[in-house]
Structure 1
Amino acid sequence: MTFKDRIAFYYLISAASIIATVFVIIYFIVSATVYSNLDSALIYEARKHLKDVIVEQDSLYFDNHAIIAEREHKEAEVLPFFLQIVDTSGNVLAKSTNLKKQTLTFRPDVIAHKCFNAELSDKAIRQIQIPVKQNGKLKGYLLTAVSLEGTILVVKNLRYVLLVLFPLVLALLFFVARYLADKNIKPIVNIIETTNRITKYNLSERVKLPKTRDELYTLSQAINELLDRMQNAFEREKQFTNDASHELRTPLSVIKGTLEVLVRKPRKEEEYKEKIKYCISEIDSMSERVDQLLLLARFDKANISLRKESLPAISLIDNAIYRHRKLIEEKNINIVMKDDLAAEVVTDPYYVDMIMENIISNAIKYSPAGGTIEIQAHKEDDKIIIEVVDYGEGIKEEDLNSVFNPFFRSDSLNHKHINGSGLGLSIVKKASEILGVEVKLQNHPPKGLKAQIIFPVG
């Protein structure tokens, strides 16, 4: 069964239940109303003719003038109300002329004044028995009846009409529901056709949004947003792979070229040592790049668990500075600490150390010899901000949004003497996203760069 037919079928089941319930209610309401009206007329007739019953001692009979005056009791075909008087034992004492040789059946077990069904010459009638009393003493009963054939015919015809109408209405509803379902699932068909056309070579196509802003519009929009993310991720992955291949191929080519030069002819021992050391440094650089690539790949995995601790800002800074103390001494860089370095941040030490390591490492590498690096930590509203300011070359304004991309190095041709892979700030970005920390970079006039690491309090 297709999705369209399932929708129509489920709609039909629901509609059938509702229609059946409505039809049953209609049937019982009409039936009850017809019987109620008949009973009202019967009770009215019985009470009216109770006044025409004459009681003399132990004898009961009709006032002939009153009965004869009403033509309805002369013939059964006019308006079939039947009257009959019985004594307490059920013996017939008098009756209307339209009964002819027939008599109404007295039912002593039936409560007085209550209408009930009975039969007269094998035809259904509605009957009521009203006690006839004199001075509070029961003398007999007035039996009043009316034909039930017309009422039964009305109810029977109603039942027949409802039973015939029910399947016809359901059949009509099925085709209507199927048409509406077909019309409503067209956007789904469009989604299926579009997504079937999309492959890794064709990620630019998007699902056409429906005109009405309903759930299908939201679904189509969500699929398009998913495709956007997939396309961006695929393009980043492709670019990352190309860049990684280039970055790893370059040192390998250098190592290969150096070794090929060495084996062309015999050389002095010092020359061999120099070239081998150079190759080892290239291998170390390549190994560092591989480690960083693996680290970035690990960041992309879901369900990273954090072990947050309350850490003094000064300890985060000191650890990073200590690891680079040799380069700081070689370049004679002056580290200036400012403000409230006793401030504490609640974070994961492993990831925050990566952030501080790369930020301070960049500040040291790009600071000129004899330069100054200013570091300060302070609380601002509901945030704790650590700032690292260097007075190096800074970053081109147009490159500030790109430096977090893998392998990107701003103005790299002018910084050939500075070792770097272009992965450090990518690691900073990934780690900051995991921690919920914001990292901002901005040029620091007249020269240099200011890096801000913004931690939420608590």
Structure 2
Amino acid sequence: MFSKSIRRNFLLQIIIASILLIFVFSSFLYFYIEKSVYDEKRNELLTYAKNISANRSVTELGSDTTDTYLKISVEVIKLKKYPTNNGLDIYETTKQKHTYLTLIYPFDIGEFSFLKITKDITPTKHLLRKILRYILIINVVGFGLVIIYAVALSKMLTKPIKSLSNKLSNMNEHLIRPVRVEELPEEFEPLGETLNHLILRIQNFVKYQKELFIGTAHEMKTPLAVIKLKNQVTLIKKRSDEEYIEAIETTNKAVDDMNFIVSNILNIGRQEGAQLEKPVEIDIIKFLRDKTNDFKLIAENEGKSIEMDFKPDGFMAMLQVGLLNQIVQNFIQNALKFTPVDKKVYIRSSQDDFGLLIEVIDEGCGIDESEDLFAPFKRQGNKSGVGLGLFLAKSAADALGAKINIKNRTDGTSGAIATLQINSKLSCIITSKR
């Protein structure tokens, strides 16, 4: 069974693969050398046999010729059966620790006479054995070098993973730091960016959850204090029916305020559930156009108007529609809330380096840019509300991997610009049909 360690598995696989490669390469090398040497010896005997056969005489061969020096012996033999390989036959024999290569070559076909040429190839055999030993020694050294190289390579390749693992294992809510993507190999950059996105979401979650709990307690405390104070005043002395009714109405209003706060907090839970919904493919431009048309009638009833300018003509994306709706709806509602009568709200989209840029621009009083408007229970201006809308929008944007921001207009007109940037890595552009 394989170990769970990536490095051990990689180390084992690279060692096995390298050993097999060395073994196969060495085997091919040795067999090639052996075949080349034997082919040379066979050609040597064949050439010698052709020369003798051409001269048609073997009587002049003496002990003082080069044949003895070359350790070659020649004799004429007669065979009853003609060899099948064009009259040729070559074989190897061993006698008294000596190895001989013998060639049977036709000499006089009519009389079934053949030349039997034998050469002592013992030195060649010794040479091949020596070559084999050297190859084995080289293989052993090569195996050692492969193991050293595999260990170093596996350590180098798993170093980024180990670094990321150590960084993540030592993290807690107080020591969360982004991963430095520029220090990672190119192959690990997407993983580093994903981790940084996750870390950012965790940081925002921890930060805003603390503020949410504190803000919830503070917001609930106020209506409860009003109820208690009103009841205490009512119980001091006997009151008229009208005064009791007034006290009850005050209590009911405080209860309604608490119910409104609880409903908004429940929306946070619903949104977290929406983050787990299966993404679907939608045309964001069409979605924006439909959503804007829905709010046009509301704007007209309030004496305001909405203008839209969407580019490109289509922009497909895989995302959770509920989260996108949470952001866009909050932007438009806030823009209409803070825009005075007879003023306009502009909704437009365009492409930028990040992806699709969506802007909702109002002609209201602007914002205080020094405050974190995305924190829970943060209110701007004197308009009604709990202050959880932008908090929910921010959470939805983080879940989508999008960027969200609010800033004041810089074109000389009072108002604010709420922007949403959707990452183009999860999207594609649809060109208009003409």
TM-score by length of 2: 0.72
Matched ranges for 1:213-224 at <5 A: 213-215=185-187, 219=191, 222-224=194-196
What aligned pairs does 1:146-295 form with structure 2 within 5 A after superposition? 146-182=119-155, 185-204=158-177, 213-215=185-187, 219=191, 222-295=194-267
Give 3-state SS (helix, strand or coil) of 2:369's partner: helix
8 A Cα contact 1:389 1:444, kept in partner: no
Query: How far 1:286 moved relative to its partner?
Result: 2.0
Q: Which residue of 2 aligns with 1:374?
A: 343
Aligned partners of 1:387 and 1:127: how far apart in 2? Answer: 97
- For the residue of structure 2 that corresponds to 1:116, the secondary structure is strand
Query: For 2:104, which of 129, 136, 140 is the aligned residue?
Result: 129
1:419 to 373, 384, 404: 384
**Do the aligned partners of residues 340 and 419 (structure 1) sit closer, same or farther apart at CA in structure 2, a change above 3 Å counting?**
closer
Structure 1 pair 440–239 and aligned structure 2 pair: CA distance change class (3 A): closer
Q: Which residue of 2 aligns with 1:398?
A: 369
Change (3 A) 1:447 1:263: farther
2:296: which partner in 1?
A: 317
Stretches of structure 1 lacking an aligned partner (at least 5 in a row)? 55-61, 91-106, 323-327, 329-334
- Larger Rg belongs to: 1
1:320 to partner: Cα distance:
6.5
Q: Is the 8 A contact 2:208 2:375 kept in 1?
A: no
Which of 304, 317, 336 aligns to 1:360? It is: 336
Task: Return closer, same or farther for 1:275/1:345 CA change in 2, 3 Å cut-off.
Answer: farther
SS of the aligned residue for 1:266 comes to coil
Distance 1:121 1:140, change over 3 A: farther
Following the alignment from structure 2 to structure 1, what is the Cα–Cα distance between the partners of residues 357 and 190? 39
1:173 CA drift (Å): 2.8
Distance 1:269 1:336, change over 3 A: same
Q: Alignment RMSD, CA only?
A: 4.6
Question: CA offsets, 1:323-350, max 9 Å, x none?
Answer: xxxxx6xxxxxx1558799xx9999897
- Against the structure 1 CA distance between its residues 338 and 230, is the aligned structure 2 distance closer, same or farther, given a 3 Å change threshold? closer
Task: Check the 8 A contact 2:335/2:360 in 1, yes or no.
Answer: no
In 1, are the aligned partners of 2:349 and 2:359 still within 8 Å (CA)? no
Query: CA offset at residue 13 of structure 1?
Result: 0.6
Give the distance between the partners of 1:295 and 1:197, measured in 2 at CA.
33
Superposed CA deviations along residues 342-394 of structure 1, whole A, max 9, x for unmatched, are xx99998976666555543444xxx5xxxx33357798989999988666xx1
Among 42, 45, 49, the alignment partner of 2:48 is: 45
Query: Which residue does the alignment assign to 1:9?
Result: 12
**CA distance, structure 2, for counterparts of residue 186 and residue 169 of structure 1:** 25
**Aligned pair count?**
399
Once the two structures are superposed, residues 50-109 of structure 1 have per-residue CA deviations (whole angstroms, 9 ceiling, x without a partner) of: 24434xxxxxxx242xx1385244x5xx3211111124548xxxxxxxxxxxxxxxx845
**Aligned residue number for residue 140 of structure 1:** 113
The alpha carbon displacement at 1:39 in A equals: 0.9
Q: Is the 8 A contact 1:320 1:356 kept in 2?
A: no
Residue 263 of structure 1 deviates from its aligned partner by 2.0
1:83 aligns with 2:74: yes
Worse-matched range after superposition: 446-455 or 168-177: 446-455
Q: TM-score, normalised by structure 1?
A: 0.69
Deviation of the 1:293 alpha carbon: 2.3
CA distance in 2, matches of 1:20, 1:360: 77
The unaligned stretches of length 5 or more in structure 2 are 316-320, 422-428
Percentage of matched positions with identical amino acids: 17
Counterpart in 1 of 2:26? 23
User: Would you say the 8 A contact 2:160–2:185 is kept in 1?
Assistant: no
